[in-house]
Amino acid sequence: MSMTIPGREIARHCRAALFGLVVLGAAQAASAGSETSGAAYPQMAPGAEYLIPNPAAEISLARSAAPAAISGSATVLVLSSKGYETAVNGKNGFTCLVERAWMSPFDSPEFWNPKLRGPVCYNPAATRSILPITRYRTKLAQSGVPKNQMFDEIRAAIARKELPAPELGAMSFMMSKDGYLSDDAGHWHSHLMFYIPGTDISSWGANLPGSPVVVDGEHRKIPEQQITFLVPVSHWSDGSFAPASGHPAEGGDK
């Protein structure tokens, strides 16, 4: 059941907890530019800081993105120094993993924050059309490519049709109470994400008073030509109550 928090209020919190391509995005005409010198995370941390040493813990965190009826039969990926690797072969077409900070928009001040952990479960359509982008961004980040060059290389790969546009029906679950989506917002709020080709946010009534649909209009710098709409929901993946946006999960650490 969707929350009825006014859309603009949710969007305000969304901007503090942006993660996992939760953005209004279009192929930008300008380059991502250089790192902001005053940013808290001006450059990539040592690669090991983005890894979870215990694969079982990462599998559990990835599965927590969606209810067990979905994630229990999903393929699960874990991040190694060589990129995402299959830890569990699923049978329902869903794919669960833990995204890292470099999946944020390129103008996010936490683009290189090694603490960020975004559990997500992609449905089959998103597995086919969104997961390849996640893998490609991750490959570039782990290879040490500078952020502005990452942006340009992704945009060029899209132009060459090496990366797909969002497939019709592509969506994902981000319902984990154990994720860490930003230094300010911690877990933020349990939500679903819907990936739409194009740039028109009005088609879903996002950010309007009383609308549960959210899109971030502040952080816009991504090379992928898509919009990602968020719809907050009232419970975490384990069925427990999800508090209002901007508050951490009950019993969890921010």
The backbone region for 14, taken as left when phi is positive above 0, alpha when psi lies in -120 to 50, beta otherwise, is alpha
Rounded Cα gap, residues 182 and 152, in angstroms: 25
pLDDT tens by residue, 52-64: 999 999 999 999 9
Mean pLDDT (whole number) for 180-203 = 84
**What six digits make up the tokens of 142?**
């782990």
Please give the helix or strand (H or E) that residue 126 lies within, else none: helix 124-129
pLDDT tens by residue, 106-155: 989 999 999 999 999 999 999 999 999 999 999 999 999 999 999 999 99
pLDDT for 32 beyond 60: no
Please tell me the pTM assigned to this model. 0.82
pLDDT tens by residue, 204-215: 898 899 999 988
Helix axes 147-159, 131-142, angle to 10 degrees: 140
pLDDT of residue 224: 83
C-alpha separations of 2 from 71, 126, 153 in Å: 20, 21, 37
The backbone region for 188, taken as left when phi is positive above 0, alpha when psi lies in -120 to 50, beta otherwise, is left
Rounded Cα gap, residues 174 and 118, in angstroms: 8
Amino acid identity for residue 183 in this structure:
D
